[in-house]
Amino acid sequence: MRILLVGAGLSGAVIGRHLAEAGHDITIIDGRDHIGGNCHTERDDETGVMVHVYGPHIFHTDDKGVWDYVNRFAKFMPYKNRVKTTSQGQVFSLPINLHTINQFYGKTMRPDEARAFIASLGDDSIDEPHSFEEQALKFVGPDLYEAFLKGYTEKQWGCSPTELPASILKRLPVRFNYDDNYFFHAFQGIPEEGYTAMIERILDHEKIDVTLETWFFPDMAESYDHVFWSGPLDGYFGYAHGRLGYRTLDFERFTAEDDYQGCAVMNYGDRSVPYTRITEHKHFAPWEQHEKTVCYREFSRACMPDDIPYYPIRFVDKETTLKTYVERAKACEGVTFVGRLGTYRYLDMDVTIREAMDTAETFLETTRKGETMPAFVQERP
């Protein structure tokens, strides 16, 4: 069969490779001038540092199958993400851990003491938290919330934490030990040669043809047996029912000699600082040595029509619009929506790859049985 994949990021590459190995003819198109989507990495001409062009990506997973898959195409170097934050004139460790708590309150508590202390600060009047703010106030109290969560969240999402669901904060645990590894998964690392080199190898198959700087038009589908769409869900329908909410990022690049901030990621929790964080890219590849360094100040804002969408943002007032697009997608034949944008969900890289592998398998199975490939293979948006 002739298969068209729109988007040369992780979803398109993994699905394309899987189906190519099964004997299908694969065409992948992408509107940008490079592969890899927002995972794209490249060498900085001035410093020689490997830069995560669209912001840092640290691979972390408990899925051994996915870990084995990416290691087929790249050598992953060990990397632990240890984030710092500047707040109220001090530098603290994130996520909030025993060191953060003791430093913030000027104490020397043991784990059991800190657990009881933080519990005493929580708002017991909040029974079932519905918003990000209620979740924070219930479990860490107002002081830690104000210092580490409120300002950063307002900048990142462009709205009050009272408008965001509690589920967002559930991804940010409080630890009552000195473990400052931001992630807790069994497998963590970064490709030695960057993500773009890994995706190049995934796409390196005789039955895969990749064309860049090429936009999708609906009449293209007529030349293919099936289309996999990893672009914005609303974009597939020409934004006919209005635009869904996305956040985008702006980066302010600057260079320095030697080492600028001593860590890969420095968050800025104070609302008075306009950027959310500074990332220093040489620290994402500690196995390399560079005399100069390149950093990005990162600014988050609402995504405009000509911007690159990064994060779907599930505002309550957009749920009706989302439902309309989902119903239209389900009524389509010959197209499957995949990835973070295509399914309008926040997905980490490992989940994106797992879903791409499962989607390709589902396509092969439905084809074998003569059944119809669904618009969404995983959970619906």
* Pair of tokens at residue 40: 């794209």
* Pair of tokens at residue 44: 């900085």
How many other β-carbons are positioned within 10 Å of the β-carbon of residue 306?
A: 6
* Pair of tokens at residue 80: 């632990």
Q: How far apart, in whole angstroms, are the C-alpha atoms of residue 322 and residue 309? A: 16
Pairing of strands 208-212, 25-30: parallel
Report the b/e string of 279-305 with b at 16+ CB within 10 A. Answer: bbbbbbbeeeebebbbbbbbebeebee
Q: How far apart, in whole angstroms, are the C-alpha atoms of residue 358 and residue 346? A: 18
Distances from the Cα of 210 to the Cα of 7, 30, 115, 217, angstroms: 10, 8, 53, 16
Residue 170 DSSP one-character state:
G
Give pLDDT, residue 87: 97
Phi, psi of 159 (to 5 degrees): -155, 170
Q: How far apart, in whole angstroms, are the C-alpha atoms of residue 211 and residue 215? A: 10
> What DSSP string runs through 24-42?
-EEEEEESSSSSSGGG-EE
Rounded to a whole number of angstroms, the distance between the first and last alpha carbons of the chain is 28
| pTM: predicted TM-score of the whole model, two decimal places | 0.94
How many other β-carbons are positioned within 10 Å of the β-carbon of residue 23?
A: 9
> What DSSP string runs through 280-323?
EGGGG-TTS--SEEEEEEEEEEEPPTTSPP-EE---GGGHHHHH
Give pLDDT, residue 165: 81
Q: How far apart, in whole angstroms, are the C-alpha atoms of residue 85 and residue 116? A: 24
**Cβ neighbourhood burial of 350 (10 Å; 0-12, 13-18, 19+):** buried
- 123: helix, strand or coil: coil
Q: What is the amino acid identity at position 55?
A: G
pLDDT in tens, the chain (381 residues): 999 999 999 999 999 999 999 999 999 999 999 999 999 999 999 999 999 999 999 999 999 999 999 999 999 999 999 999 999 999 999 999 999 999 999 999 999 999 999 999 999 999 899 899 999 999 999 999 999 999 999 999 998 999 888 887 776 678 999 999 999 899 999 999 999 999 999 999 999 999 999 999 989 999 999 999 999 999 999 999 999 999 999 999 999 999 999 999 999 999 999 999 999 999 999 999 999 999 999 999 999 999 999 988 876 666 889 999 999 999 999 999 999 999 999 899 999 999 999 999 999 999 999 999 999 998 766
Q: How far apart, in whole angstroms, are the C-alpha atoms of residue 273 and residue 378? A: 39
Positions marked catalytic: 171, 175, 247, 277, 298, 346, 348
